[in-house]
Chain A
Amino acid sequence: MVRSCSECNLTWHQPITICTRCQGPVATSSPGKLRVLHVTKVEMPSQEHQEVPYYCLLLEDEVGLHYVRKSRQEHRPGDVLAEGDEGRTETAVTLGVIGTGTMGTGIVCLAMEAGWQVIWKSRSSQSLSEGKARVRDRLLKAMEPGEADGVLQSLVLATDFEALAGAGLVVESVVEDLDVKRNVFRSLDEACSQEAILASNSSSLSIDAMAAVTSRPERIVGMHFFNPVSRMRLVEVVRGARTADATAASVSDLAKRLGKVPVVVRDAPGFIVNRVLMPYLNEAARIVQEGIASVDDVDTAVELGLGHPMGPLGLIDLIGVDVFVNIMDSLASRTGESRFGAAEVARRLVAEGRLGRKTGAGFHQ
């Protein structure tokens, strides 16, 4: 469908409800037949369009208005796209997001920037409206206020699960507590359509344990984004024991459409990144604990000797010492392996309330 401003005639293919130029009322109409004027085959991936080749079509409708559309199918100049021939271009995605924390907000921003419809669910309408303000601030870095408000028209805020009935993919990003997440999955399973894929952004909990409470374990998957979502390009696609091939493939494809690089990993404690990262951080804490080197010297050594942008103890402070200890405990209890036991020095810091940057002190002052 095409939307056009009744006052200034600006047109969109995006779901806009007020004019992004003059704030005038927007009417929806069918573009009728679209004729392909020119085509370019794009073979160069970009931040927002990683998957190549694709085609950019310059189209003209029956009244002479022009449109640019992206298509995965090859078209030739002179081709006519029939009315409603949306299947030949990328279909729009309706994404549900649960949770208004850092990660939930980051995922919402990402989807809005990709032009997706988003339904954002939280228990608190206040945290939703605060979240929406943060999303708007982010959009304003890339566009004018009128344009940002236009994009925000495709964001729906909701406090009940029923609002997610139309979502094709839902990503939950609530607190890392298995009981809480299982309750969320139970509710999602009831509220969402049978075709919907339900994903967890969990960094440490078992996908299988969440899938077990639903009637669709084949459509349950992990979709683990990294903080900050806007800049970190990785998504770990986590396959539970019963996750279908098609589910993992769809989620990988959707991650690519959000400009991310998916990697597929089996449901195992820590997946890839935390399984590599956490023992490394723990070892750095042990070096301090054993009096082998000072906090500053450990960080300096790793920064200069390994070329890391930040040393391990500085990174624990950034993540939160308490979060670090929780993840280590989770790795230890799920694997039953003592090598994942958190360094005592980290536990002491937590007991003293030195949780890292958020409390002003952790390993570093």
Chain B
Amino acid sequence: MAGDVLLDRGAGLIFPASYALIASAHMKRYGTTLDDLALVSLKNHQNANLNPLAHFYHKRATLDDIRNSPPICSPLRLFDCSPVSDGAAAAVVSAERRSHEDVEVVASGMATDTLALAERADFTYFTASRIAAAQAYEQAGMEPSDIDLAEVHDCFTIAELVALEDLGFCQPGDGKHLIREGCTARTGSIPTNVDGGLKADGHPIGASGLAQVFEVVTQLRGKAGERQLAKASTGLTHSVGGIGGTSVVHIFRKGD
């Protein structure tokens, strides 16, 4: 179930409307701006231009395109929303090590929350993501600073900032600094959504989570071609369902 029928959907709370309310709450509390969201969109589109498998590989999006795109649910505009894409992804999982290219799954965290937005106390973070992240870091024996790249669930631009905060890459509300200062760019301290993310790699609903795993594995194997990161030994994926009703966090490590 992607949304609460009685409490939310009946009140017209379609997906972008939910994230629009989250964006409003985040902007009001932390001073996040529309331009911060535009920068997230721009970065992910630029990343997709390096990824031949991305939905928007051939599309050049400028900051003006993003700022002037039509409103969907205020404050979110068209370019704050991920597209609905066609796509598929698969992973072979084994208990046995078969090759030097194998990537180790070192942690799997998962948590849930109420499906209805109205039943939550706070709208600026996802409790489920915070819990899933804590589980994953504990299992892996790692800290956020140990992660070389992150693939996060940016179904809307605001969701990327909220994810970075929930995953501990910065303090709550400081996601805006990460994007403004280029920390999440390919050359930054925590490259995020280097495949283009859901925003520009695409969002083939059921396959998006595994597409993130594909990107991390490809980067850890050093086979990402033009978009290969210089340092990629550990990677994290973060996938969300039902406006934070479910959140799953995985951590991967390069084979020795």
The chain A residues found within 8 Å of chain B, CB to CB, are: 10, 12-14, 20, 37-44, 46, 48-49, 54, 56, 58, 64, 66-70, 77, 114-115, 142-143, 147, 150-151
Contact = CB atoms under 8 A, between A and B. Distances in A.
Contacts, number: 96
Interface in B1-47: 1, 5-14, 16-17, 20-21, 24-25, 28
B9 A38 contact: no
B122 to A, nearest CB: 10
A39 B24 contact: yes
Given A12-B6, A42-B72, 6 more contacts: A40-B76, A42-B73, A43-B74, A56-B21, A68-B116, A150-B6
Given A42-B73, A68-B118, A56 B6 contact: no
Given A41-B71, A44-B16, A58-B21, A67 B118 contact: yes
A348 to B, nearest CB: 49
Contacts of A10: 119
- Interface of A: prevailing SS: mixed
Interface of B: 1, 5-14, 16-17, 20-21, 24-25, 28, 70-76, 116-121, 123
A56 B12 contact: yes
Nearest to B70: A43
A46 B12 CA distance: 9
28 contacts: A13-B11, A37-B123, A38-B24, A38-B25, A38-B123, A40-B20, A40-B74, A40-B75, A41-B74, A42-B17, A42-B73, A43-B70, A48-B10, A56-B11, A56-B21, A56-B73, A58-B25, A58-B118, A66-B117, A66-B121, A67-B118, A68-B21, A69-B11, A115-B6, A115-B10, A142-B5, A143-B5, A147-B5
Contacts of B73: 40-44, 56
Given A37-B25, A56-B21, A58-B21, A42 B12 contact: yes
Contacts of A39: 24, 74
